[in-house]
Amino acid sequence: MTVSTRVAIDPFGADIIAESARLRSLGPVVPVELPGGIPAWAPTGYDTLKALILNPEVSKDPRRHWSLFPKIGEHPEWSWIMGWVGVINMLSTYGSDHTRLRKLVAPSFTARRTEAMRDRVEAITAELLDQLDAAGADGSVVDVKAAYAHPLPMQMICELFGVPGHLREDTGRLIAALMDTSDPSPEQATWVQEQIGTVLGSLIAHKVENPGDDMATELIKVRDEDGDRLSDEELLYTLLLVIGAGFETTVNLIGNAVVALLEHPEQLAAVRAGDISWEQVVEEVLRVRPSIASLPLRFAVTDITIDGVTIPAGDAILTTYAAAGNDPSRYGEEAAAFDATRAADDHLSFGIGVHRCIGAPLARMEAMTALPALFERYPDLAPAFKPDELKQVPSFIAYGWQQIPVRLRG
């Protein structure tokens, strides 16, 4: 395939799994166009993606390694990508800058530190179930995403970072807008950039005035004590990353698991009978329907030849987790089917290598708490949607359902 026949990635992400299968049929690394026409390369299989992520000649720093970065201003329809590559935090840095920024946050999310959060996760879960009870008491349909999957990780991350109640709604709206790739208009991109400054700027101002026992206060202290370790800009964007990544992804993990189980009642019955563990459910959902379907962007530092395809130095690479998780050469012909007996603990859906997810223990703990609690409280929980009726969130980055209508009591 020549680079002139780039495949346009669906900005709405309407059927990410089918799209990744189509791309895979075109080759191991396919030239694609992101919304607005941004050129990139998409690896389409597990081994190829893993090799590229682990290749030290693949960077995440657009300022140093993306040949088109200086030209974004000439293309207003590309400006949405600045919400991902124009922000300076650990997700968009390389080498020593990455190590410095990661070290400021990662120690707070180790397995041990996460375990200390369990009591709060359980308490929030219990409160939400009581509220859900009230909402669905008369047998009416409840959106279990809005009423349960969303508020748990949102409340938890807001507590960890000391986000006050009056900023939570705006924070939720900002992260949803950042994930929404269906409108690459310059107006939308400008709105997102302004909101980043306003919402996170207000959070920082609030925490300076009202310091607390929370991670935002800790980061502000680092900035104030030593600007070489964390600049003003890095503080703002680190908060954006960790708060955003800290809830939106886990919301979709919980939601995707609920839908997978409701669509596969035989597997739900096996879980209830103790023949399939909740851990297996969570890992299989992560593999087959990863909350981050693909992530912009990585960059080739030198020419990289992989599986017979050369990605020229300075070109952008999309990190394609959904394609890897659904790759038949790794997971067999039924790769795209949800099968919690598979025990696929090798998925890449939390990343791998130096950028691997720092929040994986928290995400797993939240899902492993929320899911059993929901299905135990409601033994007759039933879908209030028909097959193929649910709609994906408008994003090629996030994989999750817009709403998940259920009946709590059958």
Contact positions with ligand HEM (CB under 6 A) in 83-112: 90-91, 102, 109
Show the binding pattern over residues 202-241: x = contacts ligand HEM (CB under 6 A), - = does not.
Answer: ---------------------------------------x
**Residue type at position 221:** K
Please report how close the Cβ of residue 62 comes to ligand HEM at its closest, in angstroms: 13
Q: Token digits for 391?
A: 């709609």
Q: Kindly tell me which residue out of 260, 362, 373, 397 binds ligand HEM, with binding defined by CB under 6 A.
A: 362
**Minimal CB distance residue for ligand HEM:** 359
Q: Kindly tell me which residue out of 189, 304, 323, 358 binds ligand HEM, with binding defined by CB under 6 A.
A: 358
Interacting residues of 369 by C-beta distance below 8 A, sequence separation 6+: 118, 121, 122, 125
34 closest CA partner among 245, 310, 293, 248 = 293
- DSSP-assigned letter for residue 185: -
Helix (H, G, I), strand (E, B) or coil at 43: strand
Query: Does 396 sit near ligand HEM (CB under 6 A)?
Result: no
Q: Kindly tell me which residue out of 16, 257, 363, 381 binds ligand HEM, with binding defined by CB under 6 A.
A: 363
Contact positions with ligand HEM (CB under 6 A) in 304-343: 319, 321
Give burial (CB, 10 Å; 0-12/13-18/19+) of 367.
Answer: buried
**Residue type at position 128:** L
Q: Kindly tell me which residue out of 86, 314, 351, 405 binds ligand HEM, with binding defined by CB under 6 A.
A: 351
Residue whose token pair is 């990139």: 40
In this complex, which beta carbon is closest to ligand HEM, that of residue 207 or of residue 287?
Answer: 287
Query: Does 370 sit near ligand HEM (CB under 6 A)?
Result: no
Residue 297: asked if its preceding bond is cis (omega within 30°), the reply is: yes
Query: Does 291 sit near ligand HEM (CB under 6 A)?
Result: yes
Query: Does 155 sit near ligand HEM (CB under 6 A)?
Result: no
Please report how close the Cβ of residue 55 comes to ligand HEM at its closest, in angstroms: 12
Query: Does 34 sit near ligand HEM (CB under 6 A)?
Result: no
Q: Measure the CA–CA gap between 334 and 73, rounded to whole angstroms.
A: 44
Please report how close the Cβ of residue 20 comes to ligand HEM at its closest, in angstroms: 15
In this complex, which beta carbon is closest to ligand HEM, that of residue 101 or of residue 142?
Answer: 101
CB-based contact 91:359 (threshold 8 Å): no
Query: Does 65 sit near ligand HEM (CB under 6 A)?
Result: no
14 closest CA partner among 293, 347, 261, 246 = 293
In this complex, which beta carbon is closest to ligand HEM, that of residue 339 or of residue 366?
Answer: 366
Query: Does 158 sit near ligand HEM (CB under 6 A)?
Result: no
Q: Token digits for 398?
A: 């996030």
Report the phi/psi class of residue 394: left, alpha or beta, with left for phi > 0 and alpha for psi in -120 to 50: beta
**Maximal C-alpha separation, the chain:** 62
Q: Which residues bind ligand HEM (CB under 6 A)?
A: 90-91, 102, 109, 241-242, 245-246, 249-250, 253, 290-292, 295, 319, 321, 349-351, 355-359, 362-363
